[in-house]
Amino acid sequence: MNPVATLTDLAAGLTAGDFSSVELIRYYLDRIERLDAHYNSFITVTGELALAQAAAADARLHAGNATPLTGLPIAHKDIFCTRGVRTTCGSRMLDNFIAPYDATAVASLATAGVVMLGKTNMDEFAMGSSCETSFYGPVHNPWDTSRVPGGSSGGSAAAVAAGLTPAATGTDTGGSIRQPAALTGICGLKPTYGAVSRYGMVAFASSLDQGGPMARSVADIALLFDAMAGFDAKDSTSAVRDAADLAAAQGAATSGQRLTIGLPKEYFGVLADTAFARVYDEARRTLEALGHRFVEVSLPHTPFAVPTYYVIASAEASTNLARYDGVRYGYRCAAPTGLTDLYERSRSEGFGREVKRRILTGTYALSVGYFDAYYLKAQRVRRLIRDDFTKAFETVDALLAPTAPGTAFPIGQISDPVEMYQQDVFTVPASLAGIPALAVPCGFHQGLPVGMQLMGAHFNEPRLLALGGAFQRATDWHLRTPNLPG
């Protein structure tokens, strides 16, 4: 078996009877057991459960009522609640937390017959761009284990890149799917806000959080997105899409269509390293050769995106994380002397530094006297950023941009939080605007993978997936693999 096979390959193998789901799952469980010590990409491995699910999937395959995903493995970011399996969110605070329910995204995939291998490592409460803030230790990039895999869905990204799973779920609040995908040479989709239910996803910033798939190929991403997306009555911000909407989106994705693709000058203008920038020139030429046309566009409010994002995301996080108080579940300090002591020590000991920093930032931004200057102003700028995109999509069908400002950096290199936040400079605008963005590997720089980002108008995922798929049929960047041990 090939550790870096795509879901599409594996599905063909299952259908042809080359191997059973149980054999497939054993294969990946064995790899995780032998190799994950190099990457630290899993927090929990659910071997027994996975084999039981695989056996059920095999029965479905035999009975002929399988879906295209039945029997295929997946790893879930440890931010998705999984019934009976602990959900830590990378935090000491939830080290002992076992949810009595599945997240809707998890349940949808399980219904399709996807088998869960385990739960992946992540930045604590999804706050980070390097997977260094996890209570369970940093994740190592398979391309160079001294480097970060990006974050916060770095465990999922590393696991896919290392061939420990063919696919994983991630969540993206300001780039947490796309940036690690880029840094590990895989694909990741941040769907339109509202496309994938947030129910059962531990909340970081409610108005920005979106779950999405991470996998080796855009074709796999499309398969998974199809299973994960859809209206969920349990999430009031979940989008209702009728058949006409879906047909229109599919129509816009007709292959062979010649698209006008925008290159936002505010993104490329800040790329310092010309050799790194040249990777995108090559990607552009590939797409031009496929018949697409490029024009430069301006998204003038881009420079304000990072501060805007950190005000809004931290403000929402500061109240979303108020529930972790040591009273009902999760970490509770030893022998509290009173209520205030219980609160102060449970939260001081249960949360890591970055989480505390954001809670403080967010609390400040919402406080009387500062609310207008920070939160309210950030909401206004958010609207301007969204308007930038709306205006751009009047003239272009999609946007192409870098996913991250550089390649994977060494673990421990960035210690200044504000410098770390700059990792998100190209990903937070789409998050603030709520538009879909697809990260696709598009080359290498100094031996490390580089990713590009395709952004589209709201609910234009089919077009982005068609474009990314066409790119991958013309290139093989996504099939390149790091040197994998054993």
Partner 1 sequence: MQWESVIGLEIHVQLATRSKIFSGATTAFGAAPNTQACGLDIALPGTLPVLNEAAVRMAVTFGVAIGADISARCVFDRKNYFYPDLPKGYQISQFERPIVGTGRIDLRLDDGATRTIRITRAHLEEDAGKSLHEDFAGMTGIDLNRAGMPLLEIVSEPDLHNAKEAAAYFRQMHTLVRYLGICDGNLNEGSMRCDANVSVRPIGTTTLGERTEIKNLNSFRFLERAIDYEIARQIEVLETGGRIRRETRLYDSDRDETRTMRTKELSDDYRYFPEPDLLPVVIDQEFIATVRSSLPELPHQKRTRYIGALGLSDYAATWLTDDPSVARFFEAVLAACGEAKLAANWVMGDWSAALNRSELHPDASTISAAQLGALIERVRAGTINGKIAKTLFESLWNAADPNRTVDDLIREQGLAQVADTGELAELIRRVIADNPEQAAQFRAGKEKVFGFFVGQIMKATQGRADPLHVNTLLREAFAAT
Q: Does 360 bind partner 1 (CB under 8 A)?
A: no
d(CA 250, CA 231): 17
- Residue of 172, 325, 388, 424 interacting with partner 1 (CB under 8 A): 325
- Residue of 161, 214, 315, 425 interacting with partner 1 (CB under 8 A): 315
Q: Does 206 bind partner 1 (CB under 8 A)?
A: yes
CB 72, min distance to partner 1, A = 24
* 176 assigned to active site: yes
Report which residue type is found at 185.
Answer: G
Q: Does 201 bind partner 1 (CB under 8 A)?
A: yes
- Residue of 36, 220, 316, 461 interacting with partner 1 (CB under 8 A): 316
* 77 assigned to active site: yes
d(CA 63, CA 326): 48
Pair of tokens at residue 358 = 């954001």
Cβ(176)–Cβ(428) below 8 Å: no
d(CA 133, CA 369): 31
Rounded-to-10 torsion of CA 410, 191, 199, 89? 0
Q: Does 199 bind partner 1 (CB under 8 A)?
A: yes
Instruction: Give the CA distances from residue 190 to residues 1, 170, 438, in Å, rounded to whole numbers and listed in that order.
Output: 30, 9, 6
Catalytic residue among 152, 153, 217, 314: 152
- Residue of 328, 334, 337, 415 interacting with partner 1 (CB under 8 A): 328
Pair of tokens at residue 202 = 């531990």
Q: Does 236 bind partner 1 (CB under 8 A)?
A: yes
Q: Tokens 């505390």 — which residue?
A: 356
- Kindly write out the interface string for residues 99-118 of this chain, putting x where it contacts partner 1 by CB under 8 A and - elsewhere: xxx-x---------------
Pair of tokens at residue 168 = 């994983």
CB 319, min distance to partner 1, A = 5
Can you give the three-state secondary structure of 114-181, one letter per residue? CEEEEEECCCHHHCCCCCCCCCCCCCCECCECCECCCCCCHHHHHHHHCCCCCEEEEEECCCCCHHHH
Closest C-alpha among 189, 186, 167 to residue 177? 189
Pick the piece of the chain touching partner 1 (CB under 8 A) from 220-228, 229-237, 283-291, 417-425: 229-237
* 130 assigned to active site: no
Q: Does 373 bind partner 1 (CB under 8 A)?
A: no
Element (H, E) at 458: none
Question: Hey, which residues between 21 and 80 contact partner 1 (CB under 8 A)?
Answer: 80
Q: Does 198 bind partner 1 (CB under 8 A)?
A: yes
Residue placing its CB nearer to partner 1 in the complex, 337 or 483: 337
- Residue of 143, 280, 375, 421 interacting with partner 1 (CB under 8 A): 375
- Kindly write out the interface string for residues 242-281 of this chain, putting x where it contacts partner 1 by CB under 8 A and - elsewhere: ----------------------------------------
Residue placing its CB nearer to partner 1 in the complex, 300 or 336: 336
- Residue of 240, 244, 335, 368 interacting with partner 1 (CB under 8 A): 368
Q: Does 97 bind partner 1 (CB under 8 A)?
A: yes
φ and ψ at residue 161, rounded to 5 degrees: -65, -35
d(CA 181, CA 320): 26
Residue placing its CB nearer to partner 1 in the complex, 304 or 343: 343
**Residue 338: HSE in the Cβ half-sphere, 13 Å Cα cutoff:** 1
- Residue of 339, 360, 373, 418 interacting with partner 1 (CB under 8 A): 339
Closest C-alpha among 325, 315, 354 to residue 93? 325
Catalytic positions, written as ranges: 77, 152, 176
Can you give the binding site for partner 1, defined by CB under 8 A? 80-81, 87, 89, 94, 97, 99-101, 103, 198-203, 205-207, 233-237, 315-316, 318-319, 322-323, 325, 327-329, 339, 343, 363, 366-368, 371, 375
